[in-house]
Amino acid sequence: MNNDIPAHVPGGQGEVMAHAVDACVHCGFCLPACPTYALLGDEMDSPRGRIILMKEVLEGGLPLMDAAPHLDRCLGCMGCVTACPSGVPYGELITAFRGWSEPRRTRTPFDRAKRYAILKALPAPKLFSVAARVGQYAKPLAPLLPNALRSPLDLLPEHVPAMQPSPAITPAKGPQRGRVAFLVGCAQQALAPNFNAATLRVLARNGIEVVVPDGQGCCGAAALHTGARDEALTLVRANLNAFDPDDFDAILSNAAGCGAGLKEYPMVLHGEPDEARARAFAAKVMDISEYLNGLLQDGALEPMVPASRPLKVAYHDACHLAHAQGVKAAPRALLRAIPGVTVLEVPEGDLCCGSAGTYNLEQPELATQLGQRKAKHILSTTPDLIASGNIGCHTQIQSHVRRQHSGVPVMHTVEVLDLAYRGEL
């Protein structure tokens, strides 16, 4: 599609957006991949419709606030990126657009306060943990609250676990075969500390030394995807300083959203002095499942103890793993490597569970509809266990599976591997 996106859009971001708009040929192949199109059935809430809206706003043909409701409803799940035959980098467009538009738009005081709270709490695990504890005690009040406040409470577990800081260095067990850096994540430390503990155990068991570099922080994805570009840049630069890619075989994340965020650094810094550093950094970033699957494919993954009974595992593709990072085969291969495990495919598996980024907090009604739909599809496979690779999906799916009165456990892929290594599966 042609565009006249003007040069006043700052730095490399205007170029990034113009390139994405140019690549779209409007074929509509993205429509069935879009969760909001599936729910609402109109063009404005489809990827190609949003591309038009962004183009029109950037060109000055449409007021930003007219387009905003539809752009705000985009989950950023990137299902459309996987489906797009022309390779439109939609993620780069919407992310850059949100950064460009946020300072130009109006928000209600309530909206502003909510966003401020989210952006402050998410990257600060301790603060988030405190907030989660407060929320945990507020849960009984949930039915009395408006939906915007109720839905985050619904997602909280019954008991918020204690924080478990990760050690600076976890030595390899047995002969050392590799050395990796690990991004510990933010909300995840507060809500599911066992994800990290399991990750460290599984890596060590495979002869990998794990370093948690000092000075690392939030990956910045939440800030970036909600349009808080300045905050995001601060976080991105802090991580570029904390991780020296030359020191490690890989930089690992076990949260799909964070991993995708780290891989976006070159786009964020496009046209800026740190772009080359960001490229070197991003080239080393891998999801934990990609890294372990590398060992598996080389025949170097330590064998796991067979499951105590035949086990059906429904694997849920986290959007930021499957669509944003293109990692689909690796987690399945790892789960299948556990003797006795069958991996089940979930109907409508490519559609987001509704929890992408801060969507639960910003669009609670659509998020709830998508969560219900996802839980129904997963449970239709009658699994013994549900596995996924992202904290956001984890909380969402757990919450909706429970609401559908099912007790099927929901785990991170690496937790399942950890249990298998310990003979507890």
Partner 1 sequence: MSPEKQALTSTSSAHTPVSEGRSSNALAAALTRALGARKVLSNLSERLNYRYDAIQFGVTPLCVLLPESTADVVAVMRAARAAGVPVVGRGAASGLSGGAAPMVEAVVISFTRMTRLEIRPERREALAQPGVITLKVSEDARPHGLVYPPDPASFRTSTIGGNLGENAGGPMCFKYGVTGDYVKALEFVDADGDVHQLTRDAYDLAGLLIGSEGTLGLITDATLRLSTPAKYTRTLMAHFPEVGQAAEAVSSAIAAGAVPSKLEFMDQACTNAIEDYLHLGLPREAGAVLLVDTDGDDLHTVEEERALVEQACLAAGGQVRRAATDAEAAALWQARRSVSPALGRIRPQRMNEDIVVPRSALPEVVREIRALGDASGLTLVQFGHIGDGNLHPNILFNPRTESAEAVHTLAHEIALVAIRHGGVLSGEHGIGTMKRDFMRDAVDPVTLGALRDVKRALDPTGALNPGKILPDDVAGGLHAHP
User: Which residues contact partner 1 (rule: CB under 8 A)?
Assistant: 1-2, 4, 22-23, 25-29, 31-32, 41-44, 46, 49, 52-53, 56, 61-62, 66-67, 70, 84-87
348: left (phi over 0), alpha (psi -120 to 50) or beta: left
CB of 69 to partner 1, least distance (A): 8
Query: What's 234-262 look like in SS3?
Result: HHHHHHHHHCCHHHCCEEEECCHHHHHHH
Q: Are 47 and 75 in contact (CB under 8 A)?
A: no
CB of 290 to partner 1, least distance (A): 20
Compare residues 56 and 249 and give the one whose CB is closer to partner 1: 56
In one letter, which amino acid is 119?
L
Compare residues 71 and 156 and give the one whose CB is closer to partner 1: 71
CB of 363 to partner 1, least distance (A): 18
CA distance 92 to 348: 25
Greatest CA span in the chain, whole angstroms? Answer: 64
**Count of C-beta atoms within a 10 Å radius of residue 84:** 21
Compare residues 250 and 366 and give the one whose CB is closer to partner 1: 366
Compare residues 52 and 322 and give the one whose CB is closer to partner 1: 52
Q: Which tokens in the block code for residue 343?
A: 């991996």
**Count of C-beta atoms within a 10 Å radius of residue 194:** 16
CB of 210 to partner 1, least distance (A): 34
CB of 42 to partner 1, least distance (A): 7
Compare residues 89 and 259 and give the one whose CB is closer to partner 1: 89
CB of 2 to partner 1, least distance (A): 5
Cα-Cα-Cα-Cα dihedral sign, residues 116, 104, 260, 69: positive
CB of 150 to partner 1, least distance (A): 25
The per-residue b/e assignment along 313-326, b for 16 or more CB within 10 angstroms, e otherwise, is bbbbbbbbbbbbbe
Phi, psi of 181 (to 5 degrees): -100, 150
